[in-house]
Amino acid sequence: MSTTVRAESGRAQPSRRDRVPFGRQVRGYVALMKLRVVELLLVTTIPVMILAVRGVPDLLVVAATLVGGTLSAGAANAFNMVIDRDIDRVMHRTRHRPLVTGDLTPRQALVFALLLTVVSTLVLGLLTTWLAAALSLAAIGFYVFIYTMWLKRRTSQNIIWGGIAGCFPVLIGWAAVTGTLAPAAWVLFALIFLWTPPHYWPLSMRYRDDYSSVGVPMLGAVRGPASVGLQTVLYAWATLACSLLLIPVAGMGPVYALVALGAGGWFVLETHRLYARALAGEEIAPMRVFHASIGSLSLVFLGIAVDALLFR
């Protein structure tokens, strides 16, 4: 940990003797869950469930999966904020998080994270399948212990392997309605795995000064724009190829094929534009790639849902 982080982590926080208003505490607990990040996980889960049963799944199971998945992802995010509260005090984009502002104490956040873990596991286990519950628990553990505690501050490859935690929702959704994991589920797992680095690396380029200030070796903070741009291009192409692999493996129809080609092509095009501008030494716009990655993935999974309903 850098000297800057140690110095900043000792900064005086608001006194707990001046009790934090209840409303601020509630907002703090909600902020711990990072629900805006969870939204994307849920967007990928429902289409997977539709594909798994080739139709409309049991709505109670869908609701339980969404609730359990939200609580599970919220638990992982809350644990992350407890562990990273030292660097969150230094980084510009995280300085308003509840453990930095003093709206919540680390103990409150830790108890909340543990409670979410237990409740999410029980919801998924009792209302869907215990395989889905076990996968949810594995996702939390992977995100907390492998990514946050081990990889994040040690290697520029952190998001590649740490991103595996974000691949679990597709497996959870599949297992929730079938109790098993078919080859198509693993193709979708690989799709999210390949998509995560080119999705996150532009963000790390945008906030490279933040990551550099706390010694976190995100690729965008330790490599030049051209190098990061090239890696982003390669992974975007791999993501597109993997999305097309779902056609023979899951028997997808023409709707999905067209959507996957169009959405994946859009993502690839934006990464090439980023790389070309970086090579030319021009001002880059990494957030265009970031937003394109979200839009393209959302379209691909929408294509999965529509195709699975049309071609049962």
Q: Which of 97, 141, 147, 101 is nearest to 121 (CA)?
A: 141
Confidence class for position 20, pLDDT limits 50, 70, 90: confident
Q: Are residues 65 and 204 in the same domain?
A: no
Domain-embedded: residue 7: no
- The residue out of 140, 161, 179 marking a domain boundary is 179
Is residue 3 a part of any domain in this protein?
no
pTM, two decimals, is 0.90
Do the domain assignments include residue 108?
yes
pLDDT on residue 157: 92
Task: Specify whether 34 is located in the same domain as 163.
Answer: yes
Confidence bin at 62 (pLDDT 50/70/90): very high
pLDDT of residue 123: 98
- 195-243 pLDDT per residue, tens: 999 999 999 999 999 999 999 999 999 999 999 999 999 999 999 999 9
The residues, ordered by sequence, that sit 6+ positions from 10 with a Cβ below 8 Å of its Cβ are: none
Task: Residue 232: give its domain's CATH number.
Answer: 1.20.120.1780
What's the total number of domains in the chain? 2
Residues 132 and 277 in one domain: no
Q: Residue 81 sits in a domain of what CATH number?
A: 1.10.357.140
Tell me, rounded to whole angstroms, the distance of Cα 110 from its chain centroid: 20
| Percentage with pLDDT > 90 across the chain | 87
Q: How far apart are CA 305 and CA 145, in angstroms?
A: 33
Task: Encode pLDDT of 270-306 as tens digits.
Answer: 999 999 999 999 999 999 999 999 999 999 999 999 9
Residue 15 has pLDDT above 80, yes or no: no
Range of the domain at 28: 23-179
- Average predicted confidence (pLDDT) for the chain: 92
Rounded CA separation 146/158 (Å): 9
